[in-house]
Chains A and B, each alone.
Chain A
Amino acid sequence: MTVSSFTSLLIWLPLGGALVIWVLPLSRYATGALAVLVALAEVGVWIEQAARFDFSKSGLQYSQDTPWIKDLHVSYHVGEYPFSLWLVGLTVVAMAACIGYGFWVGRDRPRAYFGLMLFLTGATVGVFVAQDLLLFYAFFEAMLIPLYILVGVWGGPGRLGATVKFLIYTMAGSLMMLAAIVVYGLKVGTFDLVDGPPSASRWIFLGFMFAFVIKAPLFPFHGWLPDTYREGPPEVTAVLSGVVAKAGTYGMLRIAIAKFPDPTSYYRTLFLTLAAAALVYGSLLAFRSPDFRGVVAYSSLAQSGLIALGLFSGTSLGFDGAVLQMVAHGLISTALFLIAGTVERRATTDQFGLLGGMARGRPALATLLMTLGVISLAVPGSASFAGEFLILAGSFQRAWWWAAIGAAGVVLAAMYMLRLISAVLHEARGPTVHDEALDLRPGELALLVPLVGILLALSVWPAGISHHSFAGDAPAQQVEAQFK
């Protein structure tokens, strides 16, 4: 096997695993174990790939290019840039944790469930490595299919309404993107993202952005978010907010901003405004939210806004910060939703009114939630502090008021996270919290501790990502040169 096929391996290994699980009539336990094994193998492949990655070189690495639809110049072109490498890493790690969680709680209909989770892994990796617009679109859509079923079958009581809303919203965006892809690809004569020339068409740019702002989401396109995040099974919601939503912000960076420099600067104020609105509005909603998942859900909206703020600031610092924050928030959000799941399993609810006092007698839960909360509210020295600081500095270079709004968002983050921590862990013991509800079990710790560990490592060395996301550590030039 050549080195360049690593990328394809990352896509097709989980898809193949899904197929095997669907075809073989394995037992419940064997199915889950196989899925976890595949997810871990995926992490292993990624580590091997990251170790061999050359961060000083510009251009695509581990690339593979085979014609797919010849007469329209569509190809199976995959490869990774440094920033895609980090997002792929986020995907495989978060998916491994979530598949592990599904195994731990013993989901019903295991073959369908684990197959879909692996399918989702492959599709999401595909989004981050596809270098052809149609291929990107195919993976972008393919992510939706398992998510739809996972939320619709294993979700809460209001799942049917939530799935319809989720799918119609995101498909509306995607289909506009399909129209934009058709127009762009046929106009310039290729669908390749690397070869394709930049375009000045505002309509095409808006078509792409429509899909990305819904996926991320930004204000006011977040209508699908609260229901879906509340009704999905916790580990699926974790993936959705931690990883899948990052496809939206990744798309902004890789396609919208890089390929459409003129429209980007024309609409910069518009999208900076949407981003700032998402940040402030999401933070306020998170602060008012009466439930654990609601807080994390709306904080994801706020964080998407922050990331978009960094991206659309168009500065080197902003780009660096956005990539770091995508990874950091992805891990935080995944871990928080998994903890929400463990809390729900113990107290049957995530309503703050019924929770409280869970720290007593549950040191592991308290420690992990505290640590995550502290990292998430961007205490100086934490990974998300580094990310948010870079984003704020980057947007300050654009104009001081963007940084001011961003800083307000960071303050609000402290308010809602502290409120969450005290409502769950401290205060008087809630009516649904019983002494019989145990502390985190070894299985749960095995999922959560590595996630928190990675976050701590990133807190110690944020430059590991922020200085290794763009070749030559020159983000703005790289974006301008379309990463060539």
Chain B
Amino acid sequence: MIHTPHVDWFAISTILALLGASFVALLSAVLVPRSARRPVAAAIAAAGFVGGLVTSVWLYVASADGSLAVSGAFYRDRWTALAQIVLCGVGLATTLVGAEHMTRRTGDHIAEFFSLLLASVAGMAFFVGSANLMVMFLALEWFSIALYVMCAVEYDLEGSLEAGLKYLIVGSFGSAALLFGSALVYGATGRIGFAQIAEVVGAQGLAHDALLVLGLAMIIAGLAFKSSSAPFHMWTPDVYEGAPTTVTAFMSAATKVAAFALAFRVLRTAFPQELYLWSWAFAGIAVASLAVGNLAALVQRNVKRMLAYSSISHAGFLLIGLSAGSALGGRALMYYLIVYAAMAFGSFAVVAARERELGEAVTLDNLAGFGWERPFLGLAMWLFLFGFAGLPVGGGFVAKFYVLSAAYRHGWTWLVVVGVIATLVSLYYYLAVVRAMFMRPSAELRVAPVAGGAPARESLLHVAVGLALAVSVGSLFAVGPLIDLAKHAASALPL
């Protein structure tokens, strides 16, 4: 008889809620008549995400002492729970935007889209809690495959299929690197559990073992692929540009949260002895990301592409927090992720609205006058971009301050200076968007909505942007509570 492990169902309740909703959404693709499919599937997805939010909040409250669940494969702690809360929030916002925007031309596969969305968030929720290399890889593939399909789901859209394929090929490369690295680490230590790896390394003095270090390097490369950090970022601009904007918004926010939350855990838990190695490695990747992201963004005319490069530069800032490897760094990372997720999602959602209005890709030119035509979305975009740039209109300012503080505490004043210079460069392209939206009249560019007349109502998109705005601005005033949340979450990790 096969011995089955004890399963703490509560520990994986968020994942189960999302997966359950995913199955129901998939069923609705077959059972619900076509006319009602969109609202029904969206409602199922929204219910799934609200369920996920409730369980993950509950998990956060009930998991003050972190523990391992399901025979040591999954962490039930506040770090997992907080990341899951953010992921479910992003998922909910994506549902709101997706209900109005996804596959609007053909109306096909809307239920499948929501099913995939739920499945990918479930995968990410699993990923951030994974406690061994096997689970980590499985979860990574799980949410990645869902994402590949989501990128390509609007196959009538120019670039969507291409984006999906490109992401599949390059993403597989990243997954392969991660898998290979895991195999090497297992080969060196004979363990797959994160905590056990650290124990064996400590007990046998393997910190300088070539196999282990090579494995660690491959794992870092794999994670850098997923978090779109330079020099592993090549897929990002093309995929972000080609994918349906709703999916881009989701990817830019959620994938980063998952990748960084997991990266911090796996490095702190499994490789504390190699801190000096990976903190230097990540500092290097951070500098590369800041340089590549900012410089490439300067010359972009396409707003989605520009925001893609901006997301690479923000990966650089997140990596600064990660590379500090301290409790302060963990707090900074989590706070930054919350604020960044809101700003990134919100800014892509605004682009989605403009794209729908124009029926073509949004560029700096055809954004002219948008701020005055759609005051709420314009104001929101303005605040997101200034927040990205670290101006004190939202939590982006405090987030930057936090990661720079973490770098300074780590003894890296030079990294503070690099971050400051990167921020200065980034101002130019963020301001270009604000300038286009508010300071250039649309009349001179003869931009007109495709359908003519008033723009679409898009009340759900407005709600989603409003939520993102509330988080990104509110986080400036609620720094204390949010940092406390992040602090408690980070205390679950061995720091």
Contact of A182 among B398, B401, B427, B483 (CB under 8 A): B401
Contacts of A148 in B (CB 8 A): 431, 434
A145 and B480 contact, Cβ closer than 8 Å, known pairs A168-B427, A168-B428:
no
B381 to chain A, nearest CB (A): 13
- Interface size on B (CB < 8 Å)? 35
Interface residue B386 (Cβ < 8 Å from any Cβ of A): yes
Interface residue A68 (Cβ < 8 Å from any Cβ of B): yes
A172 and B424 contact, Cβ closer than 8 Å, known pairs A141-B392, A182-B405, A186-B405:
yes
Interface residue A134 (Cβ < 8 Å from any Cβ of B): yes
Complex Cα distance, B379 from A178, in Å, reads: 26
Contact of A68 among B402, B427, B479 (CB under 8 A): B479
Interface residue B408 (Cβ < 8 Å from any Cβ of A): yes
The stretch of A157-165, A215-223, A273-281 that contacts the partner chain? A157-165
Contact of B424 among A72, A137, A164, A175 (CB under 8 A): A175
A153 lies within 8 A of B438 (CB): yes
User: In the complex, which of the residues A67, A141, A160 has the most CB atoms of chain B within 10 Å of its own CB atom?
Assistant: A141
Interface residue A452 (Cβ < 8 Å from any Cβ of B): no
Residue-wise interface mask of B (378-413) relative to A, using a CB-CB cutoff of 8 A (1 in contact, 0 not): 010000001000011100011001101100110001
A68 lies within 8 A of B420 (CB): no
B110 to chain A, nearest CB (A): 35
Complex Cα distance, B397 from A149, in Å, reads: 19
A183 lies within 8 A of B391 (CB): no
Complex Cα distance, B404 from A283, in Å, reads: 41
Contacts of A70 in B (CB 8 A): 480, 483
B397 lies within 8 A of A138 (CB): yes
Interface residue A436 (Cβ < 8 Å from any Cβ of B): no
Contact of B372 among A109, A160, A172 (CB under 8 A): A109
Complex Cα distance, B386 from A178, in Å, reads: 16
B480 lies within 8 A of A176 (CB): no
Contacts of B448 in A (CB 8 A): none
A5 to chain B, nearest CB (A): 17
Contacts of B393 in A (CB 8 A): 142, 145
Give residues of chain A (174-191) contacting chain B, Cβ–Cβ below 8 Å. 175-176, 178-179, 182-183, 185-186
User: In the complex, which of the residues B379, B392, B421 has the most CB atoms of chain A within 10 Å of its own CB atom?
Assistant: B392
B398 to chain A, nearest CB (A): 7
Contacts of B401 in A (CB 8 A): 134, 178, 182
Residue-wise interface mask of A (136-156) relative to B, using a CB-CB cutoff of 8 A (1 in contact, 0 not): 011101101100110011000
Give residues of chain A (182-220) contacting chain B, Cβ–Cβ below 8 Å. 182-183, 185-186
B428 lies within 8 A of A164 (CB): yes
Contacts of A152 in B (CB 8 A): 435, 438-439
Contacts of B428 in A (CB 8 A): 164, 168
A167 lies within 8 A of B431 (CB): yes
A183 lies within 8 A of B413 (CB): yes
B466 to chain A, nearest CB (A): 13
A179 and B416 contact, Cβ closer than 8 Å, known pairs A70-B480, A141-B397, A144-B391:
yes
Number of A-B contacts (CB under 8 A): 83
Please give me the residue from chain B that is nearest to A109 by CB atom.
B372
Interface residue B456 (Cβ < 8 Å from any Cβ of A): no
Complex Cα distance, B413 from A179, in Å, reads: 9
B399 to chain A, nearest CB (A): 11
Contact of A69 among B417, B434, B483 (CB under 8 A): B483
Interface residue A171 (Cβ < 8 Å from any Cβ of B): yes
Complex Cα distance, B329 from A72, in Å, reads: 12
A71 lies within 8 A of B397 (CB): no
A172 to chain B, nearest CB (A): 6
Complex Cα distance, B413 from A167, in Å, reads: 25
Interface residue B226 (Cβ < 8 Å from any Cβ of A): no
User: In the complex, which of the residues A109, A153, A168, A175 has the most CB atoms of chain B within 10 Å of its own CB atom?
Assistant: A175
Contacts of B289 in A (CB 8 A): none
Contacts of A164 in B (CB 8 A): 428, 431, 435
Contacts of A185 in B (CB 8 A): 405
Complex Cα distance, B255 from A119, in Å, reads: 36
A183 lies within 8 A of B408 (CB): yes
User: In the complex, which of the residues A71, A109, A168, A183 has the most CB atoms of chain B within 10 Å of its own CB atom?
Assistant: A71
A145 and B391 contact, Cβ closer than 8 Å, known pairs A152-B439, A175-B420:
yes
B491 to chain A, nearest CB (A): 12
Please give me the residue from chain B that is nearest to A203 by CB atom.
B413
Contacts of A153 in B (CB 8 A): 438-439
A182 lies within 8 A of B480 (CB): no
A168 and B424 contact, Cβ closer than 8 Å, known pairs A145-B386, A145-B391, A179-B404:
yes
Complex Cα distance, B421 from A179, in Å, reads: 10
Interface residue B423 (Cβ < 8 Å from any Cβ of A): yes
Interface residue B76 (Cβ < 8 Å from any Cβ of A): no
Interface residue B78 (Cβ < 8 Å from any Cβ of A): no
B472 to chain A, nearest CB (A): 15
Please give me the residue from chain B that is nearest to A154 by CB atom.
B439
Please give me the residue from chain B that is nearest to A134 by CB atom.
B401
Residue-wise interface mask of B (326-345) relative to A, using a CB-CB cutoff of 8 A (1 in contact, 0 not): 00100100000000000000
A403 to chain B, nearest CB (A): 38
Contacts of A159 in B (CB 8 A): 439
A141 lies within 8 A of B405 (CB): no
Interface residue B487 (Cβ < 8 Å from any Cβ of A): yes
A214 to chain B, nearest CB (A): 12
Complex Cα distance, B234 from A104, in Å, reads: 54
Complex Cα distance, B406 from A72, in Å, reads: 10
A141 and B391 contact, Cβ closer than 8 Å, known pairs A167-B431, A179-B404:
yes
Contacts of A167 in B (CB 8 A): 427, 431
A110 to chain B, nearest CB (A): 13
Contact of A142 among B392, B413, B480 (CB under 8 A): B392
Complex Cα distance, B420 from A148, in Å, reads: 20
Contacts of A186 in B (CB 8 A): 405, 408-409
Contacts of A149 in B (CB 8 A): 434, 438
A160 lies within 8 A of B408 (CB): no
Give residues of chain B (463-493) contacting chain A, Cβ–Cβ below 8 Å. 479-480, 483, 487
Contacts of B398 in A (CB 8 A): 69
User: In the complex, which of the residues B401, B402, B434 has the most CB atoms of chain A within 10 Å of its own CB atom?
Assistant: B401
A72 and B405 contact, Cβ closer than 8 Å, known pairs A67-B480, A179-B417:
yes
A182 lies within 8 A of B416 (CB): yes
Residue-wise interface mask of B (10-31) relative to A, using a CB-CB cutoff of 8 A (1 in contact, 0 not): 0000000000000000000000
A71 lies within 8 A of B391 (CB): no
B420 lies within 8 A of A178 (CB): yes
User: In the complex, which of the residues B331, B409, B479 has the most CB atoms of chain A within 10 Å of its own CB atom?
Assistant: B479
B403 to chain A, nearest CB (A): 10
Complex Cα distance, B351 from A138, in Å, reads: 28
Contacts of A163 in B (CB 8 A): 431, 435, 439
Residue-wise interface mask of A (65-79) relative to B, using a CB-CB cutoff of 8 A (1 in contact, 0 not): 001111110000000
Contact of B420 among A22, A69, A138, A179 (CB under 8 A): A179
Contacts of B397 in A (CB 8 A): 138, 141
Please give me the residue from chain B that is nearest to A111 by CB atom.
B375
Complex Cα distance, B438 from A163, in Å, reads: 13
A-B contacts, 7 listed (Cβ < 8 Å) = A138-B397, A145-B391, A159-B439, A167-B431, A175-B424, A182-B408, A183-B413
Chain A interface (Cβ < 8 Å from any Cβ of B): 22, 67-72, 109, 134, 137-139, 141-142, 144-145, 148-149, 152-153, 159-160, 163-164, 167-168, 171-172, 175-176, 178-179, 182-183, 185-186
User: Which 6 residue pairs of A and B lie closest in terms of their CB atoms, listed nearest first?
Assistant: A138-B392, A152-B439, A175-B420, A179-B420, A69-B479, A141-B392
11 more A-B contacts (CB under 8 A) besides A69-B480, A164-B431?
Answer: A68-B479, A69-B398, A72-B402, A137-B392, A152-B435, A153-B438, A164-B435, A168-B428, A178-B401, A179-B417, A182-B405
